[in-house]
A = this chain, B = another copy of it.
Amino acid sequence: MTHFKYPEVIQETIKALTVKDSYKSVCHTHFFEYPMPSGNVIGEIVNLTREILFPGYFGDSPVRSESIHYYIGVNTERLFELLNRQILAGLCFQCSMSDPEKLKENKLKAFEITKDFIALLPELRRLLTTDVEAAYLGDPAAKSRGEVIFCYPAIRAISSYRIAHALVKLSVPIIPRMISEMAHSETGIDIHPKAQIDEYFTIDHGTGVVIGATSIIGKNVKLFQGVTLGAKSFPLDDNGNPIKGIPRHPIVEDDVVIYSQATILGRITVGKGSVIGGNVWVTNDVKPGSKLVQFKPKDSLYTEGGGI
């Protein structure tokens, strides 16, 4: 009985996997002192920011008038330190060679960006306060603003979006995408960090919502689950690859409501105050004040075993 000898296949496979040709297009080369972005730390950064913006709901920051500044102080300093290093990691992520000058330059840049982000925190809180208000007022099941802040996936997704969007505006690479994918994974809501979304924004239920990179959303807009603000097919360049950076997602003006599973495609405009019904598919401009709904489904015959 000799079955459990060390299997040769392990050695052979390791050999095959370390042939350079087999990994060169799917590997990431590390350079000394160039940190790698860390999903765990970025998760902590988002939580810490939420803890600062909504004092008393998350983490260990009890709010009392006597002591709230201690918690805001400690959390803001810690945020500064963690974020500074992740921004540096983001700046290094696409560097293709180890270069002390480049590293030094990136360190200065990361430091400046981090300061700029910290300065944006009060405005982030103001914006999110409008989103909480919109979610609370718009949902008959909501008992209190506290419940909305503490439990609603929409607020989780929108706060991650607003953080990621602030970083995008400061030209931070990769990190905003990581933040939005983490929120996507937790909530099923996929908001591209480049999208522009104004105040009093809310999403109900939310699973399946997709908001593309060049979308522009006005004030006081409400989306339901499964809504897509997407692109139609893309113009290709001479090599047959999609041309990047062209506006290709919808503009949704103020006071629009879009019901569940609706799909809005292309650089069209949904006019102010429109209501888009569930499960529709829209690829042309919608005039302000419009109401769009799907055709009523027909009744059909249904034969047993024969499927729908």
In the complex this chain forms, how many copies of it are found? 6
User: Which residues of chain B come closer than 8 Å to A108, judged between CB atoms?
Assistant: 3
Sample 26 A-B pairs with CB under 8 A, ordered by A number.
Answer: A1-B100, A1-B101, A6-B64, A6-B66, A9-B118, A10-B80, A13-B118, A18-B68, A22-B126, A69-B70, A70-B74, A70-B77, A93-B146, A93-B150, A138-B242, A140-B231, A141-B212, A147-B174, A150-B178, A185-B188, A208-B225, A208-B226, A224-B228, A226-B228, A230-B260, A261-B263
Query: Closest Cβ of chain B: how far from A256's Cβ, in Å?
Result: 13
Selected contact of A71 from candidates B4, B74, B119, CB within 8 Å: B74
Query: Closest Cβ of chain B: how far from A89's Cβ, in Å?
Result: 11
Mark A273-308 against chain B: 1 for CB-CB distance below 8 A, else 0: 001011111110000001111111111111001111
Q: Does A169 sit within 8 A of B, measured CB to CB?
A: no
User: What class of interface size applies to chain A in its complex with B?
Assistant: 35 or more
Q: Does A43 sit within 8 A of B, measured CB to CB?
A: no
Contact A78 B94 (CB under 8 A): no
Mark A9-27 against chain B: 1 for CB-CB distance below 8 A, else 0: 1111110111010110111
Query: Closest Cβ of chain B: how far from A155's Cβ, in Å?
Result: 10
Contact A308 B190 (CB under 8 A): no
Residues of chain A in range 194-242 having any CB-CB distance to chain B below 8 Å: 194, 205, 207-208, 210, 212-213, 224-226, 228, 230-236, 241-242
Contact B300 A291 (CB under 8 A): yes
